[in-house]
Homo-oligomer: A and B are copies of this chain.
Amino acid sequence: MSVIAINNRPIAPIYLEDLKVGDITETKAFTVTRDMIISFAKQYDPQPMHLDEDAAHDTIFGELVGSGWQTLAVTMRMLVDARLLGSTPLVGAELKDIRFHAPMRPGDILRASAEIMDIRPSNSRPDRGLMDLRVTTKNSEGMTLVTQSWSLVVPCR
């Protein structure tokens, strides 16, 4: 198992044959602001706990928290920026077992990691395969916010 240095990948395509089970990508940090949380909520998840501190106070969260969908979107952004597959696009086939352990708060500094759990050829398409990843998103206190499993489509060489 090896941890790949952050943003240390060439901007060149990575193919299925280049991948190794156990390899881990660690992303750079991403700071979440109150404005980002409210802006995302207005567009995609307009619920009291994501829109306004006073309204959030009366919910089970007791304070303003980001939409879980935004935590997932920020996780994607961090892994795109980390060039998980070099210049090969990240194309999801399936997302599984997304668990929300704690909400994202204004000012949180997030980081994600992605560990390769499995690599396999496609049954139907000889020119591509699938890579399974275990993705974890944490805040700067080391608290896990979200865990999930991804199956990505990866071209063969």
Contact = CB atoms under 8 A, between A and B. Distances in A.
Contact of A98 (B43, B73, B98): B98
B89 A43 contact: no
A98 B60 CA distance: 26
Contacts of A18: none
A13 to B, nearest CB: 12
Interface residues of A, number: 35
16 contacts: A40-B73, A43-B77, A44-B74, A45-B77, A46-B80, A47-B80, A59-B89, A60-B153, A67-B76, A68-B92, A69-B69, A72-B72, A94-B98, A95-B95, A95-B148, A96-B96
A100 to B, nearest CB: 6
The complex is assembled from copies of this chain, and their number is: 2
Given A69-B73, A96-B97, A89 B47 contact: yes
A91 interface: yes
